[in-house]
Amino acid sequence: MTILARDRHIVIVGLGVTGLSCARYLHERGMSFSVMDTRYDPPGLDELNQLAPGIEVITGKLDRNRLGEASEVWLSPGVPLAHPDIAAVKDQVIVRGDVDVFSQEAKAPIIAISGSNGKSTVTSMVGEMAKACGVHVAIGGNLGTPVLDLLAPEVELYVVELSSFQLETTEKLGAKAATVLNLSQDHMDRYPDMMAYHLAKMRVFFGCRHMVLNKQDTLAQPPMMEGAEVTWFSLTPPEPKQFGVISSGDRHFLARGSEVLLDADDLKVKGRHNWSNALAALALAQAAGLSLPICLETLKEFTGLEHRCEWVGKYNGIEFINDSKATNVGATIAALEGLGPVISGQLVLICGGQGKGQDFDALFKCVERHVGAAVVLGQDRQLLRDGLAARMPVHEVNTLEEAVAAAAAISQEGDLVLLSPACASLDMFRNYMERGEEFKRWVKAL
């Protein structure tokens, strides 16, 4: 049963990857729609014209009157609900996002993963576990394929990564299992405070049947838990039926209750933050009814994601790690706390970019514990330099090529150079992927 009447007109606000997926969805169903974008030449415009020639496209502004006349407005994640033209019509027109439409159309169970950091890794882990178990799984969302492009009758399980931007316009996801892995300052240029960010993230639990919650992060927990089963995970010894870490001397084991599941050293992805990711993935897999032995074997073979604590190479005994996907303070802290205790030499941090209004104090305290020297670059490098200079040697550079050269010059055998910017990349690059690729290129040039 389709959820849209054919005499209704939908306005898609914001093109790009998500807007195009909405256009494909509506076009395939013969629905009436038009597109608006505040950019004069938005990405995806050529593809839209090929898909649906003659579709009305308004660029450079939002037409408030036309928005008010629509049956529904489908908002891309990059456009906030607080946008003046959206705020002016949202009481008279249904405003929703692609995830909201997806949740009503999906016929298979949904596993939903959100959080400030680690969500792409956990989404990929759970997706690989489902594949290994022989389940016809569709993986995407904020990671990779937009959710509306995932819809297919043969899918048996959806595993989706969801950002706070996507959740803002999602009324009732109804996931079989959902998690917010952790919560730290991010997108403070979009949200007025941490509470607003927290509330956006908590929408992943609306209608959820099984919550997977981080016992060590109260901000990542919903204010009310009635009506859903709960499984906890943490880096501490677990209680019965919960997931955690049991330690014996210098050895550490992933466990469920008192049952040892996996030696942490058997994971190809290193660092305590990846132990936490693996535990969350196991809890979600259990909630989805996947085979635990198969999931454990899958974890042993999981090599991680590009640009997420990705091993790049070794030069003169110095290791280089690409963590370009760390676009916020919490992500960089997770990398430092995960890698810092397991290396023998000094850790040299390359950081900087667009700070997005974040408070860097927590990063400065963490850096003091784990980092021997830092290299800063990008738009907000002065903020970082000022906070780090009293704690360690800091080198200020203009380009990523200079950053790699400077980090190599101050390192010696046994040290580790970590690109983990704690900032967005858009001041110097198209995205964090381009930043990571350039880092790898300059490392290999050494």
Among the listed residues 142, 182, 277, 328, the single catalytic one is 142
Strand partners, 353: none
What per-residue confidence (pLDDT) applies to 16? 92
Residue 144, judged by CB atoms within 10 A of its CB (0-12, 13-18, 19+), counts as: middle
| The pLDDT of residue 5 | 53
Phi and psi (nearest 5°) for 126?
-65, -40
> Which entry of 187, 270, 307, 440 is annotated as an active-site residue?
187
Q: Is the dihedral of CA 365, 367, 368, 373 positive or negative?
A: negative
- CA dist 434 and 98 (Å) reads 26
Q: What angle do CA 167, 287, 268 make, to 5 degrees?
A: 90
Would you state the structure tokens that stand for residue 425, as one six-digit string?
Answer: 């990349």
Buried b (16+ CB within 10 A) or exposed e, 156-181: ebbbbbbbbbbbbbbeebbbbbbbbb
Residue 320, beta-bridge partner list = 313, 417
Position 311 scores a pLDDT of 84
Please tell me the predicted confidence (pLDDT) of residue 442. 97
Q: Are 252 and 286 in contact (CB under 8 A)?
A: no
Which domains does the chain carry?
Answer: 9-96 (3.40.50.720), 101-301 (3.40.1190.10), 310-445 (3.90.190.20)
Q: What percent of the chain has pLDDT over 90?
A: 85
pTM metric for this prediction: 0.82
Taking only the tens place, the pLDDT of each residue in 220-255 is: 999 877 778 999 999 999 999 999 999 998 899 999
Q: Max CA-CA distance within the chain?
A: 68
Choose among 225, 210, 219, 136: nearest CA to 178: 210
119, 201, 210, 307: which one is catalytic?
119
Whether residue 142 lies in the annotated active site: yes
Give bridge partners of residue 429 from the DSSP assignment: none
Please name every residue paired with 151 in a beta bridge, in sequence order, or none if there are none: none
Is 119 tagged catalytic? yes
In this predicted structure, what is the pLDDT of residue 336?
A: 95
Q: Tell me, what's the pLDDT at 1?
A: 34
430's CB contacts (< 8 A; 6+ apart) are: none
Q: Which regions of the chain are under pLDDT 70? A: 1-7
In contact, 26 and 38? CB cutoff 8 Å: no
